[in-house]
Structure 1
């Protein structure tokens, strides 16, 4: 899969070309040199398998909830093999996910109760609608 144009690289990575360019501006992806030679083919940047692996790493880390800043740090840590810092970042992310899960579970429980009260409650305004009324 080497020697890809930016359009194919983006397609293979499941993102848009502008996302590739954004990651490059942020320093998360490298900017390949333009090819040598004459004509239009010689002036096009080409991406390879290592670029795809990096892009997939970025996307997977984002799916795990890491920020782009944290992803940049993880990429730098890979070069230094600082496992302790990588583990710290992962542990912090787990704690943040646990907190978010607890918040979502509380919201689910409250909505479940409101839905039950709406279905089985007495006449009058629906508890779901009144629960979100800011007055």
Structure 2
């Protein structure tokens, strides 16, 4: 039998806050249980597992829409679809890394120029941004 938890216990078990649980409910990522006569909705361990899945996917850069797609694929025989989604995300990450590396190189060059220029001259960083 699965443990029944209040929303605050669910949030704690999943490592999020209560507002995150409510946001996921409003986003359709997790179901909102019906309110019983006692007035307190209860959640099970599957709900906590699903929230942890969502948080891990977010840490990997998946958007909430992409996570919704992943959740639809969960448990079915659709490994190829899941792999394709992850491969697209990987390509996006690689492109961002390439952009970040170019930014790093440009900034390092600017800082180096600034360190080697005479103190009274125009700022080489500002001049580079104006010229380029």
Q: Normalized against structure 1, the TM-score is what?
A: 0.83
Question: In 2, distance between residues paired with 1:4 and 1:43?
Answer: 13
2:116 matched to 1:115?
no
2:27 matched to 1:26?
yes
Distance 1:4 1:129, change over 3 A: farther
Secondary structure of the equivalent of 1:125?
Answer: coil
Distance 1:133 1:24, change over 3 A: farther
- Counting only pairs closer than 5 Å after superposition, residues 52-131 of structure 1 correspond to structure 2 as 52-123=48-119, 124-131=121-128
The answer for unaligned runs of 5 or more in structure 2 is none
Q: CA deviation at 1:27?
A: 1.4
Q: CA deviation at 1:52?
A: 1.2
> Which residue does 1:4 correspond to in 2?
5
Question: In 2, distance between residues paired with 1:63 and 1:132?
Answer: 34
**Number of residue pairs the alignment of both structures matches:** 129
The answer for unaligned runs of 5 or more in structure 1 is 37-41
Question: In 2, distance between residues paired with 1:86 and 1:68?
Answer: 15
* Alignment root-mean-square deviation, CA: 2.1
> Which residue does 1:47 correspond to in 2?
43
Q: CA deviation at 1:131?
A: 4.0
Q: CA deviation at 1:21?
A: 1.4
Question: In 1, distance between residues paired with 2:57 and 2:128?
Answer: 36
